[in-house]
Structure 1
């Protein structure tokens, strides 16, 4: 038994919704179908607001989430400033009232005590007995001096590719990778490049560090060192754990 094909001119099925029946009485079939689809069939269903108990739970969850976020931001390590941000904020700019040689003389005295402890002449602020001191040699004291911090050191340029910089002396207030920033006795800031420059600095021994003659000259002995800038082109933090090797120093 085979089914007969559906005639082409058979009427299309219409929705059996009561609203569509009422619309079909007043409008044409196409208009009734369009109005039924737009106004009734696809009309959004607006629900009632949530109960107060649900709102309280949502507010509690939001409060807990914000407290956790606040705790995380408070405990998180802040991101360091980039070089561009430091320049924009003027982190490394020195104010005019800060450029004073007398202001940094105290820093230099602290640096001298620090270097004496590095070399073993002082310990915990007390002078070590001469019999217990170690002799400062290039092999033993060289690595200690190379990895030390030079903020506060009194440096003097003794040799330089630029002859105009020879004789420049001052206290180091900034030690960068390629330069030393010095404050001179005339309250001037000088930026001296390390490349092709030899610096000299002096460390007075502790037993005569505070004794002064009537003429103002320092008594006793001092340790005098020369620093070759070509081998010192590192940041202070990078020098702390760096191993230095002996190199030829006949470039000047």
Structure 2
């Protein structure tokens, strides 16, 4: 004689909490007839030849894309190729005069002088602006330095490195001016007034090179405190 089918444990527990009819309904709808959701999966490449070929093609294409991407030059290769060196025929003052005029407009804009309404700046607010400014194109002059031979050196900045300013002088020479223990001066000319009156005098600034011993891209987030520099 066949044994009677054993009652499901979920149905037994439901009958303990509900009436037999309600328990049977809940068991039928929530347990027996509950849909089983299966997440689709990719076929195993080892079991399916077509999927294996597709997988191999994808891996080959990925390697091909990586091999076609050019690798960046190393520092040694850049020095060998003279990537950052200014050629002799490009060391001419007249080439960089338009860059200087563009830089003057850039400085008037970041100092809030481009509208022509203001003709002055405050030292407390202009300091952080000058530190984070870009000096490529500035006409700098050395006014103080521990090395006397650098004083009165003047030229347009063509390269701003971490420790030096490289200037092209009016004599078409490239001069490398270390920033350490050196004070530079530059002028920002103001735009003439619309009424045609007297031409305003340019603003004159002096900066301590030791405060600028960072790459131009790193100075934007640097905070510089005002203090006396005993080295000068």
Q: Would the TM-score normalized by the shorter structure come out above 0.5?
A: yes
Report whether the alignment pairs 1:64 with 2:49. no
Q: 1:243 aligns with which of 212, 223, 228?
A: 223
CA contact (8 A) 1:200 1:227 kept: yes
Residue 158 of structure 2 is aligned to residue 200 of structure 1: no
Give the secondary-structure state (helix, strand or coil) at the position aligned to 1:236.
coil
Native 8 Å contact 2:191 2:200 kept in 1: no
Is contact 1:150–1:172 with CA below 8 Å preserved after alignment? yes
Between stretches 150-159 and 56-65, larger displacement belongs to 56-65
> Is 1:166–2:151 an aligned residue pair?
yes
How many residue pairs get aligned? The number is 182
Q: Secondary structure at the match of 2:225?
A: coil
Stretches (4+) displaced over 4 A: 54-62, 71-74, 77-80
Secondary structure at the aligned position of 2:218 is classed as helix
Please give the alpha-carbon distance, in whole angstroms, between the structure 2 residues aligned to 1:227 and 1:69: 52
The match for 1:111 among 85, 98, 103 is 103
Aligned-pair distance for 1:242?
1.0
1:136 to 87, 101, 121: 121
Deviations 1:69-94 (A, max 9, x none): 344567xx976544323212211121
Residues 139 and 80 of structure 1: is their aligned pair in 2 closer, same or farther, counting only changes over 3 Å?
farther
TM value normalised by structure 1: 0.64
The answer to whether the 8 Å contact 1:154/1:170 transfers is: yes
TM-score by structure 2 length? 0.69
Structure with higher Rg: it is 1
Aligned: 1:186 with 2:171:
yes
Structure 2 Cα separation of the partners of residues 72 and 81 of structure 1: 16
Structure 1 runs not aligned, ≥5 long: 1-53, 123-127, 212-217
Post-superposition CA distance 1:194-246 (Å, at most 9, x none):
111110000001226xx9xxxxxx94310100011111111101101111111
Aligned to 1:150: 135
Q: Distance in 2 between matches of 1:154 and 1:114?
A: 13
Consecutive unaligned residues in structure 2, runs of 5 or more: 1-47
Secondary structure in structure 1 of the residue aligned to 2:192: helix
- Contact 2:116/2:191 (CA < 8 Å) preserved in 1? no
